[in-house]
A and B are shown apart, each in its own frame.
Chain A
Amino acid sequence: MTSTTSTPLSGTDRLRPSATSAGRTSRRRMRKDLLRSRIAAWTAILVIGAFGMLPVYWLLATALSSPEQTFRFPPKLIPTDITFSNFTALAENDQLIKYLVNSLIVASITAVLSVVVATYMGYSFSKFRYRGRRSLMHMVLASQMFPQALLLVTLYAVFSSFGLLNTYTALVLSFTTFTMPLCVWMLKGIFDTIPDALLEAASIDGASRWRTLHSIVAPLAAPGMIAAGLFAFVRGWNDFIFAVTLADKEKQTLPPGLVSTYIGEFQTAWPELMAASLVVSAPVVVAFMFLQRYLVGGMTAGSVKS
């Protein structure tokens, strides 16, 4: 009789087949879960992306459409009757060019003025201790609480008495009322992250306070200053109500200019308006493309304290 002996399976070996299969199942499940979550994430990104890009697409599609197609009801998602005439008409409109130039002038000066003033104010709030500092800081922020309509009426009356209505000065000063407070707080946050030891070292090396700010602090805070400047530029570029109220046709900026030109009592020239909006938003897009790294850096610069 032949006896067969078999080596008893070790505990591990005995478990291996089922463990392997369980492991495989688990890995498969994990892979499936990972795939599912990836698909879900991509779907969410696509949906959100499409949602975010739809207005831009609609802007472009309308700008390339004929008026007849624009007013088709229900509207068509993809234009079939493409025309570039809405863009060519823009170049022939001198008044629009004037509005564009006004916008560039006013928004740029607003940005520069806001950054310059906010730099000194933010630095003062951040690095100096004096009586009333906190009250001043809060006062600057509280100025953001004023209803725009109230500010507008007040500014109108004040500018009227000073003979400043219908001037670039009125526009720049009025835009600065709403751009500066945030710039000040933004830059104060950035200056807070610059260690006091650095300033002390500069002082020991003989640098004056003026020199310290301009030669040491300002270069370090440059991304934040650019971010604040961009913010102020965009706010100035987009303002409608201050520009329409405080300036006449000669000094008006693009937002009221576009509304005046294309939105009438009886109808709105949607294709032309969309084409113009697309073209005039180009400077802001270009500015963002070049300066976005500063913008991101500047916005987050105050988030970590030394």
Chain B
Amino acid sequence: MTTSGISRRGALRMFGIGALGVAGAGVLGACAPSGAGTSSNSGDTKSKNFDFTSWSLNEEAAKPSIEKIIAAWEKDKSSKVRAVSYPYNEYLSQLTLKLGGGETTGAVHLDIAWLAAVAQMGKLADLGSVALKGGYTNVALNSGMYDGKQYGLPWNTGSIGVIANSKLLEKAGIKKHPATVEEFEGALRELKGLGGGVVPYAAATKVAQLKDIFPWMQTFGCTLLEDDRVTIGDDASIDAVTWYKKLHDEKLIAADVDRFDARALFGQGKAAFYDDAVIGKGVTAAQSKDKTLADAMQPMKRPVLRSGDTPQALLWGGVIAIVKGKGQDAATEFALHTTSDRATTTEYFAARALPPSTTAGLDDPKVAQDTFTTEWTEKITDTATGSPFWQFAQNAQIEEAVAKQVQAVLVGKSKPKDAMKKAAEEVTDLIKR
């Protein structure tokens, strides 16, 4: 008689085989030759041909402009640039795998939050001497640095800050942007008084975007990290989360809001403030029925705890890094050209509203005449800083760990002190890995 059932011995055998298989697969993976593929990144550095990897090559809004830059370069230098792209949400893991496997060569577009993780792989070239030729702003240059080395040439430098709806502020009788946390709270109450389902501040309350709490923690005086010691859990971070909870309980911020919801609320004129990157203006205005909304959108300095404090904002942007090996020299020239050539950066700004990273680019009339961008750079990007957690490959898990604890406070499952203590423990564990 045939049997297809699994006996206890059979199950044990199966687990044994499974465990051996997993170990074997691990060993096979570890022993597999790196860069044995056809396009190893340990090839000819003088090659005129190279790859350019960017998630933006997938995106409808960005693709034509980038293809134009590539086409112009190819024509000018009689070279061939292979455009490679992965979806944004998969980009870092794909790039890490392919860079490690020797499949990625040339120039690589990186979100500044990923630079440290990629630089730690030891495959990126130091562009310190090249960066001096670009005329980049100091903030921009810093966004491409890791461990004292210039691994990325800044392409677009911006920040994530607060956007205000001047029409709603006017309606609530608020004459100027609130400068302190106290004034901000007062303004939120005034806006709440408007009724009609207005969410005064469409702050992030969903885990996906609750990393927006970090600048508020910094506003209250928490440094997040000091010499590899996590400072989340100190009085300042607890105060920040307690304040956030207060806003939540008083319905000055709403439950279950992420960036998409915030944009939707703001686009319908139901939110007076929300956090977004500089590009948020175009994205939100495009979704809105109100064609005058774009004019009403204003960048606002994040309120400070005490007058005279530095407003906090998270640096945001992209850099182009160069993979050591095949096509390195030509790719470096291409990166320098793309990020600092005035005509190229201005044209790219006109197409995407992403602020250039050079002084000359920012001074270009086409950029300077854009009041929103100029104000954004002056009010927000000027004092923006990168997250101290970006240096860790586990940055995403760190942000999620803190976000989950903050959410637990918002929904009343945890006290701010306990939650921040737990968050600190989890982040410390993640950093040690």
- Chain A residues positioned under 8 Å from B55 (CB to CB): 265
Instruction: Answer yes or no: B130 CB below 8 A from chain A CBs.
Output: no
State A95–B86 Cα separation when bound (angstroms). 15
Q: Which residue of the partner chain, among B4, B21, B32, contacts A146 with CB atoms under 8 Å? A: B21
Indicate whether B78 reaches chain A with its CB closer than 8 angstroms. Answer: no
A138–B10 contact, CB under 8 A?
A: yes
Instruction: Tell which of A142, A153, A192, A266 touches B21, judged by Cβ atoms closer than 8 Å.
Output: A142
Q: Could you tell me the distance between the alpha carbons of A269 and B55 in the complex, rounded to whole angstroms?
A: 16
Interface residues of B in 80-95 (CB under 8 A from A): 84-90, 94
Expressed in whole angstroms, the minimum distance between the Cβ of A24 and any Cβ of chain B is 54
Contacts known (A72-B268, A73-B270, A244-B90); A163 close to B38, Cβ less than 8 A = yes
**Within residues 270 to 295 of chain A, which ones have a CB less than 8 A from any CB in chain B?**
none
Most buried by A among B86, B87, B89, B280: B87
Taking a contact as CB atoms under 8 Å apart, the answer to whether B89 and A263 are in contact is: yes
Q: Does B60 contact A269, Cβ atoms closer than 8 Å?
A: yes
A71–B264 CB distance below 8 A: yes
Most interface-central of A67, A134, A189, A302 (chain B CB within 10 A): A134
Cβ of B18 within 8 Å of any chain A Cβ, yes or no, is yes
B287 engages A245 (CB within 8 Å): no
Question: Which A-chain residue is minimally distant from B13 (CB atoms)?
Answer: A138
A263 touches B87 (CB 8 A): yes
Find the B residue at minimum CB distance from A241: B90
| Interface residue? A260 (CB, 8 A) | yes
User: Is A30 on the interface with B (CB-CB < 8 A)?
Assistant: no
Q: Which residue of A lies closest to B288 (CB)?
A: A68
- Check B17 against A139 for contact (C-beta < 8 Å): yes
Q: Known contacts A138-B17, A139-B17, A244-B87: does B36 contact A264 (CB below 8 Å)?
A: no
Interface size on A, residues (CB 8 A): 49
* Contact present for B60 and A73 (CB under 8 Å): no
User: CB-CB < 8 A to A256: which residues of B?
Assistant: 87, 90
Known: A160-B36, A244-B94. A153 touches B29 (CB 8 A): yes
Q: Mark A113-141, 1 if CB is under 8 A from B, else 0.
A: 00000000000001100000011001101
Give the distance in Å from the alpha carbon of A188 to the alpha carbon of B4 in the complex. Answer: 8
Interface centre among A71, A248, A260 (most CB of B within 10 A): A71
| Known A146-B25, A248-B84, A265-B88: A141·B263 in contact at CB below 8 Å | no
Contact with A142, one of B18, B58, B89 (Cβ below 8 angstroms): B18
Least Cβ–Cβ distance between A183 and chain B, in angstroms? 14
B133 at the interface (CB under 8 A from A): no
The contact string, 1 if C-beta is below 8 Å from chain A, for chain B 38-59, is 1000000000000000011011
Q: Which residues of A contact B17 (CB under 8 A)?
A: 135, 138-139, 142
Complex formed: what's the CA distance from A147 to B21 in Å?
11
Q: How far is the CA of A301 from the CA of B222 in the complex (A)?
A: 65
Q: Does B249 contact A (CB under 8 A)?
A: no
User: Is A91 part of the contact surface with B, judged by Cβ < 8 Å?
Assistant: no
CB distance from B55 to the nearest CB of A (A): 6
List residues of chain A with CB within 8 A of the CB of B36.
160-161
Interface status of B97 (Cβ within 8 A of chain A): yes
**Are A302 and B4 neighbours in the complex by a CB distance under 8 Å?**
yes
A160–B13 touching, CB < 8 Å: no
List B contacts of A134 (CB < 8 A): 10, 13
A158 at the interface (CB under 8 A from B): yes
The answer, yes or no, to whether A99 is at the interface (CB within 8 Å) is no
| CB atoms of A260 and B85 under 8 A apart | yes
**What's the nearest-Cβ distance from chain A to residue B289, in Å?**
5
B-chain residues with CB within 8 Å of residue A267 when the two chains form the complex: 260, 283, 287
Contacts of B239-274 to chain A: CB distance below 8 A:
260-261, 263-265, 267-268, 270
Contact with A along B148-162 (1 / 0, CB 8 A): 000000000000000
| Docked-complex contact B58 and A157, CB < 8 angstroms | no
A267 CA to B56 CA, complexed, in Å? 12
Of A157, A261, A263, which is in contact with the most chain B CB atoms at under 10 Å from its CB?
A: A157
Q: Return the CB mask of B92-125 against A: 1 if under 8 Å, else 0.
A: 0010010001110000000000000000000000
Interface residue? B319 (CB, 8 A): no
Q: What is the bound-complex CA distance between A296 and B359, given in angstroms?
A: 68
Instruction: Report yes or no: A154 in contact with B277, Cβ–Cβ below 8 A.
Output: no
Query: What is the bound-complex CA distance between A145 and B23, given in angstroms?
Result: 12
A161 to B35, CA, bound (A): 8
User: Is B61's beta carbon under 8 Å from chain A?
Assistant: yes
| Known A73-B265, A192-B4: A154·B28 in contact at CB below 8 Å | yes
A143 at the interface (CB under 8 A from B): yes
Contact with A along B13-32 (1 / 0, CB 8 A): 11101100110011011001
1/0 per residue, CB under 8 A from B, across A56-69: the answer is 00000000000110
- Beta-carbon nearest neighbor of B32 in chain A: A157
Assess the A138–B14 pair: CB atoms within 8 A: yes
A264-B90 CB under 8 A given contacts A189-B4, A302-B4 = no
* A165 partner residues in chain B, CB cutoff 8 A: 37, 103
Q: Any chain B CB within 8 A of the CB of A156?
A: yes
User: How far is it, in angstroms, between the C-alpha of A264 and the C-alpha of B279 when the chains are bound?
Assistant: 13
CA of A260 to CA of B28 in the docked complex: distance in angstroms?
31
In the complex, are the beta carbons of A151 and B25 less than 8 A apart?
yes
Q: How far is the CB of B323 from chain A (nearest CB, A)?
A: 16
Partner of B88, one of A161, A263, A269: A263
Q: How far is B6's CA from A263's CA once the two chains are assembled, in angstroms?
A: 44
- Chain A residues with Cβ under 8 A from B59's Cβ? 264-265
Among residues of B, the one whose C-beta sits closest to the C-beta of A194 is B2
Which of the residues A185, A245, A266 comes within 8 Å of B4, measured between beta carbons? A185
In the assembly, what is the distance between CA of A189 and CA of B3, in Å?
9
Q: What CA separation (Å) do A202 and B64 show in the bound complex?
A: 66
**A154-B32 in contact (CB<8A):** yes
Q: Is B308 part of the binding interface, using a Cβ–Cβ cutoff of 8 Å?
A: no
Closest approach, in angstroms, between the C-beta of A278 and any C-beta of chain B?
A: 20
Q: Which of B26, B61, B103 contacts A150 (CB 8 A)?
A: B26
Q: Are B97 and A135 in contact (CB under 8 A)?
A: no
Please, which residues of chain A bring their CB within 8 A of the CB of B60? 261, 264, 269
Residues of B within 8 A of A (CB): 2-4, 6, 10, 13-15, 17-18, 21-22, 25-26, 28-29, 32-34, 36-38, 55-56, 58-61, 84-90, 94, 97, 101-103, 260-261, 263-265, 267-268, 270, 277, 279-280, 283, 286-289
In the assembled complex, 17 residue pairs joining A and B whose CB atoms fall closer than 8 Å, in A order, are: A67-B286, A71-B260, A72-B268, A138-B6, A146-B21, A146-B25, A154-B28, A157-B33, A158-B28, A161-B32, A163-B38, A165-B37, A244-B87, A260-B87, A263-B88, A265-B55, A268-B260
> Which 10 pairs, one residue from A and one from B, show the smallest C-beta to C-beta distance?
A157-B32, A142-B18, A73-B264, A138-B14, A145-B18, A154-B29, A264-B59, A160-B37, A142-B17, A260-B58
